[in-house]
Amino acid sequence: MKRRTFTLSAAGAALAGWHGLGQAQGWPERPIKLVLSQPSGSGPDAMARMITEPLSRKWGQGIVIENRPGGQNAIGAQAAARAPADGYTFYFATAAALVTNAYLFKNLPYDPKRDFVPVGMIGKVPFALCVNASSPLKTLQDFIAAAKANPGRLAVANEGPKTFSGMMTRLLSSQLGIQVNSVPYVSVGAAVTDTVGGQTEAIISDVPSVAQMVKAGRLRPLAVTTAKRVAGWESVPPIADVLPNFDYAGWVGIVAPVGTPAAAIQRFNRDLDAVLLDKEMAARLLAIGPITEGAGTSEQMGAFLQAEHTRWAALTRDIGILPE
C-alpha cells in the first residue's frame, strides 16, 4: 500500500474539519454513536462499554453502542463508513475490519483504506497456542517435533481459514515447516471445549478466550504470538524464541468516517488516551482482552495501519490465501 493512503485520508479529514470547526468547538453537543461489528455481550462489546462509561462522564453526553454484527465485520464497517461525517458517529474497529478483510475478500461494501480516518488505538490482543492439560506436549519444541513425526495428523482448532487464528495456524505451519490438521470452528467457545475434551490436540486462540481454562488447569499454553511475553503469562515463551521476528496480535481501535471534523477527532483522541492510561482501566481491559499503552496519536495510528497493511499483504501472499 502506498504510504500516502492514510496520510491523505487524515489530511482530507483535517480540511473538512476547518469547515466544521465552529460546530466542533463545543463538541460534543449531543449523544455520540459508536458502531460495533460484533454482537452485544461479545468481548469487543464489553471493551467498548467499559471505555465509553468514563468518556460519557467527561463529555456530559450519552454514547450509544450500535451493534451491527455479521458479514465478517462488513455490515458494521459499512454502516460506520456511510454515516454522516459530523463528529457524532465513530467505529470501534478490529484488525479484521480495517486490514485483513482487504486481503481476504474481493468485494467489500466499504474501503478499509479510504473510508475512515484514525482516531486512536485501544490495545493489542495476543493469541496463544495451547494444548489439553493432559497432553504429553509440554513445550513448543515438543509440538513441533510431534507435528514433524506425524505430518497432517496433529489437529489444531481455530475459528476458520480467514480468521486471525486460522491464519496464524497456517503461518506457523509454513514458517516451522510442519503440517497440521487445521480444524475450523464456528465459534472460539466450541473450539476451546473440544480441545479441553481432547477432540483436538491443540488450539490457537486469543488469550482472553482461553485464559479461564488455563487458570483452571484444563489447558496448557505453549507459546504466545507476540514477540514479548504477555502480562500474567510471563512463564509462557513467545513463538519468536523459535521464529525470530514472529510478532502478531489482534487489535482494536477507534476510527471515524472520512471528513469528520478534526477538532472532534482530536478531542476524542485526547480523552481516550487519558482513559486508557488510567491504571485501573488498563487492568480492567487486560482482564478481558487488550493490552493498552494509551491511544497514541491519530497520526501514530495511521502509521500503524500502513505497516499492518504491508505486513498482512505479504503474509497472505506467503501462505497462499487469495481474496474470494
Q: What is the pTM of this model?
A: 0.84
Q: For residues 122 and 5, give the distance between their C-alpha atoms in angstroms, rounded to a whole number.
A: 22
Residue-wise pLDDT for 85-110, tens only, equals: 999 999 999 999 999 999 989 889 99
What domains does the chain contain, in order, with CATH numbers? 4-125+249-318 (3.40.190.150), 126-241 (3.40.190.10)
Instruction: Say how many Å lie between the first and final Cα of the chain, rounded.
Output: 19
117-126, 130-139, 155-164: which range is least confident on average?
155-164
Q: For residues 181 and 279, give the distance between their C-alpha atoms in angstroms, rounded to a whole number.
A: 41
Q: For residues 190 and 319, give the distance between their C-alpha atoms in angstroms, rounded to a whole number.
A: 26
Check residues 162 and 197 and name the one with the higher pLDDT: 197
Query: What does residue 224 show for φ and ψ, rounded to 5 degrees?
Result: -115, 155
| Mean pLDDT value of segment 277-300 | 93
Residue 234 banded pLDDT, cuts 50, 70, 90: very high
Nearest to 12 by CA among 260, 303, 301, 255: 260
Q: For residues 24 and 231, give the distance between their C-alpha atoms in angstroms, rounded to a whole number.
A: 39
Residue-wise pLDDT for 41-64, tens only, equals: 888 899 999 999 999 999 999 999
**pLDDT over threshold 60, residue 167:** yes
Nearest to 224 by CA among 315, 301, 124: 124
**pLDDT over threshold 70, residue 266:** yes
| Mean pLDDT value of segment 67-88 | 95
Q: What angle do CA 83, 49, 33 make, to 5 degrees?
A: 20
**pLDDT the model gives residue 43:** 83
Q: For residues 294 and 269, give the distance between their C-alpha atoms in angstroms, rounded to a whole number.
A: 10
**pLDDT over threshold 90, residue 71:** no
**pLDDT over threshold 60, residue 112:** yes
Q: For residues 221 and 211, give the distance between their C-alpha atoms in angstroms, rounded to a whole number.
A: 9
**pLDDT the model gives residue 25:** 59
**pLDDT the model gives residue 213:** 94
**pLDDT the model gives residue 106:** 87
177 exposed, middle or buried (CB, 10 Å; 0-12, 13-18, 19+)? exposed
Look up residue 3 and give its DSSP letter.
Answer: T
**pLDDT the model gives residue 114:** 95
Residue-wise pLDDT for 7-39, tens only, equals: 435 444 444 444 444 444 589 999 999 999 999
**pLDDT over threshold 50, residue 322:** yes
In the chain, alpha helices (H): 4-19, 21-24, 43-59, 74-81, 95, 101-104, 140-149, 164-176, 188-197, 207-215, 262-276, 279-288, 298-318
Q: Which helix (H) or strand (E) holds 292?
A: none
**pLDDT the model gives residue 9:** 52
Cell readout for 216 is 483452571
Q: For residues 47 and 291, give the distance between their C-alpha atoms in angstroms, rounded to a whole number.
A: 11
Check residues 208 and 182 and name the one with the higher pLDDT: 182
Look up residue 229 and give its DSSP letter.
Answer: P
**pLDDT the model gives residue 295:** 97
| Mean pLDDT value of segment 205-217 | 91
Most confident of 194-203, 228-237, 311-320: 194-203
Q: For residues 304 and 219, give the distance between their C-alpha atoms in angstroms, rounded to a whole number.
A: 33
**Mean residue pLDDT across the chain:** 90
Query: Which 3 state secondary structure label does DSSP give 319?
Result: coil
Residue-wise pLDDT for 194-204, tens only, equals: 999 999 999 99
